[in-house]
Amino acid sequence: MAARITISVDELVRLKADARGFSFLPKQPVHSLLSGRHASRLRGRGLAFEEIRGYVQGDDVRTIDWKVTARLRSPHVRVYTEERERPVLLVVDQRQPMFFGSRRAMKSVTAAELAGLAAWRTLDSGDRVGGIVFNEEEKVILRPQRSQHRVMQLLHELARFNERLAGEPLGGEGTLNAALESALNVARHDFLVVLISDLDGADDRTRELATRIAAHNDMLVVAVYDPLGINLQNHEGMLAEWGGDKYPVPGEEGFREAFQSVFADVLERWTSIFRALRVPVLPLSTVIEPAEQIRELFGQKMGSP
């Protein structure tokens, strides 16, 4: 089955029906392609201080404020309420390396699908949602809002960037780091920043930016991959297509080994980096529907709301 090249706004709108059965607050640790057996979890919504009041029977003794208790000479507790809002910022990679896929969909299409699902799910949860969509030539920043209009703006940009990849090769120099710098400027505090990318071109500056983002926000990396990109099984006559042109894939054994070695080096490097940052990394394959994968990765049943 050939990979789907692009995705339309209408298809992204229809994903609203599938945006259920998962939450960005997993009930159990998330294991990932990049982090091996290492487990991480999102901090989730915090607790906002509300008041100090006198202790009543049944209160959790762990909430007793001992300084106030000593000063007033009677037990008092600190009362917290769960924070009701956590803006979500989706940083979606639509650069040329994302225009690759062996079955079902290109990495760029899979990234757009996941972003659409996340946007609809965030809006349904009552939180603000926005996005940064970027390629080599262009970067669009949509600051989070709690509105269907903002979601539709994001979907239109995703479809537009997706369509551009199917045309002439892009000639700009936009990078992953430039997108993360913009994310850092938007997500000042208590955001959930979701990076959806294949991490092509990630370097020490990427690590620095991710560290700064994760210091004051939750951060989640969705690593989009194609199984063929992990384990290239090149055969005689295999062709790769780029910008409407087709090129033969070298059939020598050495080419396959070199290809896999480069990929393995990238995985090993980012395994250690994200493990140190305690940033969850979710693998997202191009060959399986994203909604199905997200529900499985977050440990929730298909039928759950």
pLDDT tier at 90, thresholds 50, 70, 90: very high
Secondary structure (3-state) at 129: strand
Q: Above 60 in pLDDT, residue 249?
A: no
Nearest Cα to Cα of residue 116 among 80, 60, 160, 156: 156
C-alpha neighbours within 13 Å on the C-beta side of residue 207: 11
Q: What is the pLDDT of residues 215-232, one digit of tens each?
A: 999 899 998 988 775 554
Give the per-residue pLDDT at 35. Answer: 39
Q: How far is Cα 248 from Cα 220, in angstroms, rounded to an integer?
A: 37
Q: What is the pLDDT of residues 161-182, one digit of tens each?
A: 999 999 988 889 899 999 999 9
Strand partners, 197: 223
| Residue ranges per structural domain of the chain | 9-44+85-297, 48-82
Determine what percent of the chain falls in helix, strand and coil, rounding each to the nearest 5. 40, 25, 35
Q: Which fold has domain 9-44+85-297?
A: Rossmann fold (3.40.50)
How remote is the C-alpha of 116 from its chain's centroid?
11
Nearest Cα to Cα of residue 200 among 61, 94, 64, 53: 94
* Cβ-contact 101, 285 below 8 angstroms: no
